Amino acid sequence: MGEFHHIATLGAGVIGASWTALFLASGRSVAVYDPADDAEKSVRAYVERAWPTLEELGLTGRGNPDAVTFHRSAAGAVAGAQFVQESVPERLEIKHALYREIEPELAPGAVVASSASGLTLTEMQGGWSDPSRFVLGHPFNPPHLIPLVELVANGNTADGVLDRAERFYEAVGKVTIRVRREVPAHVANRLQAALWREAIDLVTSGVASVEDVDKAVWAGPGLRWAAMGPHMLFHLGAGAGGMQEFCNRYRDSFHRWWDDLGDSRLDGDVAAMLSKGVDEEADGRSVGQACAQRDALIVAMLKATNDLRNS
């Protein structure tokens, strides 16, 4: 279990509850803080729903879903924790107030990581007197299923802290990347945003329906992306010549396509069009039913590929 065996999760929304389920599954004890009156009920329900999936993935061998406590203050939750995963709302004033509350109560050597997707590490460091043990550890939703964690440190981070955070995430089954320069939305969300912008433009310009654009992703490049990233796939796409040959062969085509990409904005009309399209695609399924299907598909893909990746 390494050096981090007692964890605090601050914020018990979808992200915080998912983190809690994963940390419990790994055999660690978890202290949870959220000011909502129903936080304990909602987190316990989330863990109960997630547990069979975690069992199916083989992640609960040492886990105990009841090794969790709930606290009415963030300071109380972090007392004695070696690692703190913060997932409170992405408003700087909320995060800064939280950091000021917990900083005096942190155990010596404790590491704090934020799940923030839209804020930068530098912005959040403004809430600390000493930000040297604070890093960004951004997951992809839901964290107990999607392996990725994006790690960010900077010149104010103490030596070795990011290494320790990376070892911890890898110990609970995550796949980590290091973001070398701070940019809004880090890496994966920027890639996701670029794809979605063009997906929206294809709908609003009448090229394809919402459902057909989604099909084009999951039945086409999405399958390949689940195996390898775009650079490696294009490297393989030109045969023995590799990436250099691919660039030589398709440079003009990509330049033409890039020049023709859209620049849509999420105004009211666009949002209404997308909502109508998604409702048609859902075909009567509730959000809960669609989430269950999403999770089942992700689990099946992870189970099918884990052995190959680890071989």
CATH of the domain at 285: 1.10.1040.10
Q: Which of 178, 207, 240 is the last residue in one of the domains? A: 178
Report the distance separating Cα 256 and Cα 104, nearest Å. 56
Residue span of the structural domain in which 208 resides: 189-310
Under-50 pLDDT residues of the chain: none
pTM above 0.75, yes or no: yes
Does 266 map to a domain?
yes
Would 168 be classed as within a structural domain? yes
Question: How confident is the model at residue 157, as a pLDDT?
Answer: 98
Q: Are residues 15 and 162 in the same domain?
A: yes
* Domain end marker among 122, 146, 178: 178
- Let me know whether 103 and 12 are in one domain: yes
Identify whether residues 283 and 241 lie together within a single domain: yes
* The predicted structure's pLDDT at residue 289: 93
Identify whether 48 is part of a domain: yes
Q: Are residues 142 and 216 in the same domain?
A: no
Same domain, 27 and 125: yes
CATH number, domain with residue 131:
3.40.50.720
In the sheet that 83-86 helps form, which strands lie side by side, from edge to edge? 68-71, 29-33, 6-10, 83-86, 111-114, 134-139, 148-152, 175-178
Domain match, 96 and 39 both: yes
The answer to whether residues 58 and 159 belong to one domain is yes
Structural domains in the chain (count)? 2
Same domain, 84 and 114: yes
In a domain, 183, yes or no: no
Q: What's the confidence (pLDDT) of residue 311?
A: 64
Domain-located, residue 1: no
Q: How high is the pLDDT of residue 269?
A: 95
Q: Is 144 part of any domain?
A: yes
Pair 234, 130 in one domain: no
Are the C-beta atoms of residues 63 and 54 closer than 8 Å to each other? yes
Among 129, 157, 178, the domain-final residue is 178
Tell me how far apart the alpha carbons of residues 36 and 16 are, in angstroms, rounded to a whole number: 13
| Domain co-membership, 195 together with 290 | yes
Inside any domain, residue 35: yes
pLDDT at 304: 87
CA distance 76 to 80: 9
Listed residue (176, 198, 186) closest to 261, CA to CA? 198
Does 135 reside within a domain?
yes
Question: Are 156 and 217 members of one domain?
Answer: no
**Do 167 and 193 reside in the same domain of the chain?**
no
Alpha-carbon distance 98 to 101, whole Å? Answer: 5
Task: Answer whether 161's CB lies under 8 Å from 133's CB.
Answer: yes
